[in-house]
Amino acid sequence: MPSAVYVCICNAVTDHDIRAAAEAGCTNLAGLTMRTGAGACCGSCVESATQVLAEARAAIELPLVLLDRAA
């Protein structure tokens, strides 16, 4: 697993923390702030935190392609 990157320095929230929150059902910034504290202080991380959350949600919600026949 790649090293964690701090997204919110004020509350020591990493991209791994945000992905874990997404996997736990977090779908928006308000929920992310409640779960992790990201964006609750200075707000400079809001754009990055929102982007990481959106990417994590997209990966979770990505539909799997069903194959008609196995090779």
Predicted confidence at residue 4, as pLDDT, reads 95
- The residue length of the chain stands at 71
Q: Which domain holds residue 57?
A: 6-61
| Confidence label for 64 from pLDDT (cuts 50, 70 and 90) | low
Number of compact structural domains in the chain: 1
From 27, 31, 32, 30, select the one nearest 17 (Cα to Cα): 32
Predicted confidence at residue 63, as pLDDT, reads 60
For residues 65 and 16, give the distance between their C-alpha atoms in angstroms, rounded to a whole number: 26
Q: What CATH number is associated with residue 54?
A: 1.10.10.1100
69 within a domain of the structure (yes/no): no
Q: What is the pTM of this model?
A: 0.83
Q: 30 vs 66, which has greater pLDDT?
A: 30
